[in-house]
């Protein structure tokens, strides 16, 4: 194929790819995302959520807020960093709440998953225990029936006494 024909084919191909009725081939761009260990992040969120639910956290948070308010009211004007409406304090508390809520939800979801697995295990153990109890109940019933058919010591003694009495009467009849 001559060179000019190849160039013409390439131009035709280029024109066809610029048409609006033909979808373009998507170029796959490689986007590298930061790799992280979801389990480690989950454990960290559980530790944070556990700490947020303690009295220590409440005491620290109350102390921090009281110090913040006292400093910004009673400190010299040049050292104050957040005047009366305490906009920066509100921002800091909102930021803390916006991070605390998802961390608590993540910790709750992980706990729910663990609880679900534990409930399934408990259900399995319960089913096995119930099956074992039913088996033992059947065995006990069969033992009771078998014991009912077995001669007891008193029954054997009474039968032997009656046989002995029959033998004595037969001996007396012979004599």
CA-to-CA dists, residue 87 to 72, 94, 102, angstroms = 11, 10, 23
pLDDT in tens, 45-86: 999 999 998 999 999 999 999 999 999 999 999 999 998 899
Residues 44, 48, 52, CA angle at the centre, nearest 5°?
Answer: 170
Please compute the mean of the pLDDT values over residues 12-40 and round it to a whole number: 69
What's the rounded Cα separation, in Å, for the pair 19 and 23?
A: 8
How many domains, in total, are found in the chain?
Answer: 1
Domain residue limits at 83: 37-124
Quote the pLDDT of residue 71.
95
What the block records as the tokens of 167 is 């033998």
Tell whether 80 is covered by a domain.
yes
More confident residue, 109 or 147: 109
- b/e 111-144 (16+ beta carbons within 10 angstroms → b): eeeeeeeeeeeeeeeeeeeeeeeeeeeeeeeeee
pLDDT band at 20 (very low <50, low <70, confident <90, very high): low
What's the rounded Cα separation, in Å, for the pair 106 and 52?
A: 13
pLDDT band at 154 (very low <50, low <70, confident <90, very high): confident
Tell whether 103 is covered by a domain.
yes
Tell whether 157 is covered by a domain.
no
pLDDT in tens, 109-123: 999 999 999 999 999
Tell whether 172 is covered by a domain.
no
Please, are residues 92 and 69 in contact by the beta-carbon 8 Å criterion? no
What's the rounded Cα separation, in Å, for the pair 102 and 162?
A: 88
Tell whether 55 is covered by a domain.
yes
Tell whether 27 is covered by a domain.
no
pLDDT at 18 over 70: no
Tell whether 66 is covered by a domain.
yes
């Amino acid at each position: 194929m001559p060179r000019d024909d190849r160039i013409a084919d390439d131009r035709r191909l280029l024109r066809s790819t610029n048409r609006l009725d033909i979808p373009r081939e998507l170029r796959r761009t490689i986007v590298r995302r930061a790799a992280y260990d979801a389990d480690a992040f989950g454990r960290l969120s559980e530790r944070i959520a556990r700490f947020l639910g303690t009295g220590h956290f409440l005491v620290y948070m109350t102390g921090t807020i009281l110090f913040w308010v006292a400093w910004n009211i009673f400190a010299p004007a040049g050292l104050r960093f957040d005047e009366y409406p305490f906009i920066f304090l509100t921002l800091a508390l909102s930021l803390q709440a916006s991070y605390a809520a998802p961390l608590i939800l993540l910790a709750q979801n992980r706990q729910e998953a663990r609880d679900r697995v534990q409930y399934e295990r408990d259900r399995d153990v319960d089913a096995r225990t119930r099956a074992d109890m039913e088996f033992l109940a059947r065995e006990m019933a069969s033992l009771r029936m078998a014991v009912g058919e077995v001669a007891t010591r008193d029954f054997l003694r009474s039968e032997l006494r009656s046989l002995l009495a029959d033998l004595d009467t037969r001996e007396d009849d012979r004599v």
